[in-house]
Amino acid sequence: MDRQTSRQPRAFSLYHLYLKSNQYLSSGQMIYVVNVQTRNVMDQLLVQEAGYTKGITAYEGLNCPPSSTCRKPLQPGNPKSGLVYIGNQTQTLTAITMDKTSSLSVYYGGITNFGFFRTYTGSTIRSLLPLTFSPGITQYIISGGRTSFTFQFSG
């Protein structure tokens, strides 16, 4: 998902997104489609209702080899950016660089009240590391600023 984002107002198929490893961010009342590549297998597609992802203007996938350490920079969104992981590995956040005034909200599954896990502030999160997150669908939503994550994968 480190490839381009499609924002053109044109029709194309999910298969096209699948082949190109692109994500589609709708500017209207539609859905987000994020192509998620887990362990180099291109057969997973995350579809989210746009109402839950409103305000997220930069979205990327966390695609790291199993049992590895991986650094992932995330460009700032206006007002939010998101990082999504789908897989069977436990993710341990071992380091993070983010603005002190920013916040990181973690969701299991969708970005809903039901999926909400916790919010961390940029001024305190480093003192809480390492933080471990469960396998499955985990979404990391940043409010404000450029961020860089370092994760250790296991499981």
Q: Write the CA distances from 25 to 9, 60, 103, 112, 114, integer angstroms.
A: 10, 11, 22, 18, 23
The DSSP secondary-structure symbol of 114 reads T
User: Per-residue pLDDT tens for 35-80?
Assistant: 555 555 556 667 777 777 778 888 888 888 889 999 999 888 788 9
Q: Is the pLDDT of residue 137 over 80?
A: yes
What is the average pLDDT value for the chain, to the nearest integer?
Answer: 81
Region of 27 please: left (phi>0), alpha (psi -120 to 50) or beta: alpha
Look up tokens 């001024």; give the residue: 123
Q: How many residues does the chain have?
A: 155
Q: What pLDDT does 58 receive?
A: 80
135 preceded by a cis bond (ω within 30 of 0)? no
C-alpha dihedral, 52 to 124 to 97 to 42, nearest 10° = -40
CATH assignment of 5-154, among 3.40.50, 1.10.1060, 1.10.260, 2.60.120? 2.60.120
Compute the Cα dihedral for 121, 122, 128, 132 and give only its sign. positive
Domains of the chain, residue spans: 5-154
